[in-house]
Amino acid sequence: MYNQFFGNYLYSNEYVTKEHLISAIIRQTKVSARIDTLSVYFGYMSASEVEHVKQLQNEEGKKFSELAISYGYLTQEQVLELLNTKAPDFLTLGQILIDDGVFSYEQFENILTDYRSQSELLDLEIDEENQNEIRQLIDSFSLVTEYAIPSFGKAYLELLFKNFVRYIGEDFTALPPSLCNEFATEHCVSQTINGNYVVNTYLNMSEETSIAFAERYSNESYDSYDEYVAAALEDFINLHNGLFIVNASNDFSNELSLGTLAPHDNNIITFEHPTYIFPVYYPFGIIHFIMEVVSL
């Protein structure tokens, strides 16, 4: 997973100016990643090999793939594979900046390495065993639910459980979800994800569980349920949903937005759309994560 949008990474590390970045973002959705950019991304060609082929292209006017094959930089199979591969959409941002002369292929190669290692480090915080357990858990959900979890749901839940591991702790057991029409809340907060699908997300737990949850989330201790405890629940759901939409933007140029947080303490919520409840058991209490799929 990515902890920030590629454009933000470029800007905060001063690889691009504000003007270059804005101009590239505006054009990003209109272009697709070319074989030269993909070759660097997948490590099939080095930046200097790409520069060489580009130079030959200018001189000979032949296709990039044809020249790359004739010089032994790519095989026919690799070309076919690259043409059929779905690469993350953020690559096009890098490609536009190369075309604009903001950085070279070599600089792009180095930037990509740094950016990916930062993202991989984030995943490494969750060990392989936990990652496998999370995948198996989500696969098992799709077998037992009456309605299949929508396609975006798998990525959403994988990130959710990773965020539970990362910010609250790995000592939880998630039970299979159930469908529901109504739910009696205790301390509950919701946030809507809007875009080409609309989902209402809720986080609910008892007072005692909220306090323990907040202590783990903020590394502070609380004697009673107060505004900091309430804010911890809100921050967690907002942080998780935020990271989900950053990943959707980075990988698929899918622009989603978040609604403001809404409290629903000690209330009965009636759901009008398919709604899944995910019970997550921690030693300190039960957390209910609820997902109401409003539209797909």
Partner 1 sequence: MTIDEGKVLICDDSILARKQIKDIIAIAGAPTIFEASDGEKAIEIYKEHKPDLVFLDIVMPKKDGNITINEIMAFDPDAKIIIVSSVGTHTQLKCALEAGAMDFIQKPINKVQIIDALNKYLGR
- Structure-token pair, residue 216: 């783990």
Which of 58, 76, 257, 295 is close enough to bind partner 1 by CB under 8 A? 257
Burial of 51 (0-12, 13-18, 19+ CB in 10 A): middle
18-37 burial: b if 16+ Cβ within 10 Å, else e = eebbebbeeebeeeebbbbb
Rounded to the nearest 10 degrees, what angle do helices 151-167 and 128-144 cross at?
A: 140
Site membership for partner 1, residue 194 (CB under 8 A): no
- Structure-token pair, residue 201: 């997300």
Binding segment (CB under 8 A) for partner 1, from list 125-133, 151-159, 257-265, 270-278: 257-265
Site membership for partner 1, residue 113 (CB under 8 A): no
**199 pairs with which residues across the strands?**
193, 293
Which of 84, 224, 260, 270 is close enough to bind partner 1 by CB under 8 A? 260
Which of 1, 157, 245, 293 is close enough to bind partner 1 by CB under 8 A? 245
Site membership for partner 1, residue 192 (CB under 8 A): no
Site membership for partner 1, residue 258 (CB under 8 A): yes
Between CA 160 and CA 181 the distance in angstroms is 22
Site membership for partner 1, residue 30 (CB under 8 A): no
Residue ranges in 61-199 assigned as alpha helix (H): 64-70, 76-83, 90-99, 105-124, 128-144, 151-167
Q: What is the DSSP string of 97-124?
A: HHHTTSS-HHHHHHHHHHHHHHHHHHHH
Site membership for partner 1, residue 198 (CB under 8 A): no
Site membership for partner 1, residue 218 (CB under 8 A): yes
Site for partner 1 in 63-102 (CB under 8 A): 93
Give whichever of 50 and 111 is closer to partner 1, judged by the CB atom.
111
Site for partner 1 in 121-180 (CB under 8 A): 167
How many chain residues interact with partner 1 (CB under 8 A)?
A: 39
Which of 78, 204, 249, 275 is close enough to bind partner 1 by CB under 8 A? 249
Q: Which residues bind partner 1 (CB under 8 A)?
A: 3-5, 7-8, 11-12, 18, 21-22, 25-26, 28, 93, 167, 218, 227-228, 231-232, 234-235, 238-239, 241-243, 245-246, 248-249, 253, 255-261
